[in-house]
A and B are shown apart, each in its own frame.
Chain A
């Protein structure tokens, strides 16, 4: 199972919006509405930000939103804040016969 494709880096200024894409295939992102997004600060554990494409866990800011079109999922962060600077990973269930999860390579978000 190949990793999902994410841009290596994105950047934006405080207050702006950015979007991180996550491209998979018809066997993972395209087949299931089960894409999740994780934020990871340096030296810390990942934190769930969005799941099932567009749902937010309790406590996660509504500045974070997810969407999907075909084989590509996206994470949009609006009203960028300094604390949003982190690595972001998408993940899709890629089950069926093999039952597994596949992650994207990660995107480094820099808040200018």
Chain B
């Protein structure tokens, strides 16, 4: 069974930093591209970042470019999102989502971790 489990969320002050993790199991992690998608309270979904299976390609939404860094450790079956210079508008539930090889959709999602940016 595919499982994605996010962790690392919490309360952080504006301008602060936080690192999210996503632990993967039940599939060959190193074969899949991975994404972060977020959802502000009461709002819709927003794609945040993508990393290819080998980490050779990474992409970011304009809203987080230069502030967030996506990475992965295939030996540890783990995905990360390092967030810095956090703003109020980054408050959201952050989901990690799997992307099948050569496909362009998200076929498995974690349960999400809440990040609250507030003073």
- Residues of A near any B CB (own CB < 8 A): 1, 3, 32, 34, 36, 38, 44-48, 51-52, 57, 89, 91, 93, 95, 98-106
Give chain B's interface residues, CB within 8 Å of chain A: 35, 37, 44-47, 50, 59, 61-62, 95, 97, 103-112
Q: Can you identify 8 A-B contacts, CB atoms within 8 angstroms? A: A45-B111, A45-B112, A46-B97, A51-B105, A52-B105, A91-B105, A93-B104, A99-B50
* Total A-B contacts with CB atoms under 8 angstroms apart: 62
- Residues in A neighbouring B37, C-beta threshold 8 A: 46
Nearest first, the 6 A-B pairs at minimum CB distance are A36-B105, A51-B105, A45-B109, A101-B47, A93-B104, A106-B44
Closest CB of chain B to A24's CB: distance in Å? 14
Asked whether B45 lies within 8 Å of A89 as measured between CB atoms, the reply is: yes
Q: Which residues of A contact B109 (CB under 8 A)?
A: 45-47
B45 touches A91 (CB 8 A): yes
Chain A contacts for B111, CB-based, 8 A? 44-45
Nearest CB on B from A66, distance (A):
11
Whether B45 lies near A106 (C-beta < 8 A) is yes
